[in-house]
A and B are shown apart, each in its own frame.
Chain A
Amino acid sequence: MPGVRLAFQAPFFHEFVLQLPKSPERVVKALAKQKILAGIPLKAYDRQLKDSLLVAVTENRTREEIDAFAHHLASIVS
């Protein structure tokens, strides 16, 4: 996805951190309109991570839902 990348290159377990080209707070707000809670903006925990979003899809989400998340995220950050 253009402008979006993994913040850390090490292997991850059940969740991962995305760096976004737009404010994560605004992205979360925009995705909420699609009824998706996108993740946790990390700025409150570490200012150096102000462009970062912690995402955990869990085992409860279907491929369709994950694809919808990716689709909406792409259109918001493009």
Chain B
Amino acid sequence: MSAFFDGLLTALQPGNLAALLAGSLLGVFAGAMPGLSSTVGLALVLPVTFALDPTPALLMMVSIYMAAEYGGSITAIAIGVPGSSPALATTFDGYAMTRRGEAGRALGISLFSSMSGGLLGTVLLVLALGPLSRAAIAFGPAEYFGLGVFGLSIVANLVGKDPFKGIVSALLGLLFFIVGLDVLTGAPRLTFGTNALMDGLGLVPMLIGFFAIAEALEAVTGRRRSTPPGDGIAGALPKARELFGLWRTILRGSAIGGLIGAIPGAGATIASIVAWNEERRVSKTPERFGTGLPAGIAAPEAANNSCVGAAMIPLLALGIPGSASAAVLLGGLTVQGVAPGPLLMTERSELVYALYAGFVVAVLLMLAVGRLGIPLWTRVVRLRPSILMPLVVAISLVGTFSLRGNAADAWAALFFGLVGFAMLRGGYPLAPAVLGLILGPMIETNYRRALSLSSGSHSIFLESPISLVLILLAAVSFAAPAVRSRLISGRTRAPEPDTHDGPDTHDGPDTHDGPDAYDNEPRHEEHE
């Protein structure tokens, strides 16, 4: 304990505190800007850290990492465009609350949940560095395949009232990931001889296209977005009682984020989607998820911030980065002459304890920066759509370009914008496609690797207890919505035939609520 307090004193030294504060500001900005992310924020600041001592350099980087996970929820809630991919699940309920005029409340819930998740993730990091590192390395191809299939089974909860269209959407998402070089053999797939497609289509252009450009095109086609109703900003913030009432949700989300975050390669995006889905599954009113439930924001936000601390476990203990952001962090550590691994605790214990304390201070600074920013963001959502949407498109395209300095990414975003627009018009939900693109690489690559290890025998997936449990959970998760709806329909009278399921009435399955926001008339809120 005294070592932790020593670390705290180190983190609170003026130079280190300034590094943490700068990291928080940059992290919230990077997370909130569509196209940027914690990874880009870390990459941008990496050259700056070369000039710093190891402690402030590391503290600045963890502060960016932590704050960016919260920052992603700002635009997800304010304008329905996830600032970074881990905020995708936050869009489901967060943007629905904004449309009800509760942006301040949603942002407050997100901030509190992010803070709680960040703190719990740090506790997990401190307590479980050793045991979880050993568990994480037990994941081989069969287990990763099981995790990917389990993640994909969430599609069953995202498909709305036409499961068929949700499945088509997921298949298209899986197809999009195939574009580019095959990871295992280097064979170009669906590139049609174009060099620009060799790197693949990418998640960020897809998110930008689906959630920013498709929505802007909706605005251009004349569907007016009504400015969300709003009351006073102070009055719109959540009450303390409401925040603390979410403790079970936050604990569950943090636990899921902690477990998934500790698995190298799984990442905060999967953790937040799994957390949202689990919260929906345990809810007594799962059908209300996606219509603006506080728990639908708290669970994913707690999960993605909890992931930050958890991702440090394999990084510090084994030198294995748990995410792309952790990989950049690893680069920063290496430049500073810090070698992560089993000897780090003995050779550089003062740095490790300063890091633990730095996480706590970074979370508190994130709370302060986030709280001060809420009035600004609630004003942003009240901008006229004819001003807001063009700005969203422009900053999204600039952010997409910034990611890799590649104009092809911006073109891909336009392509996905048109595809997303067409899918929404046809009543095809967008979230399953995004999930397909995220999980496709994990599923395909590990399926093939596992079969390569087992000489083609599928028994490898059943011999591993972790893989078996995950596949069984996937089967349950996939079947549960159908069974539940059958049970419910058995108990209630058959509803009247729906004559409004065409795309123009917008009550088809639609995780992305964007176009609906352009309708001035009230509609039945639903979520897939």
Q: Do A and B bind each other?
A: no
Q: Which residues of B contact A (CB under 8 A)?
A: none
Q: Which residues of A contact B (CB under 8 A)?
A: none
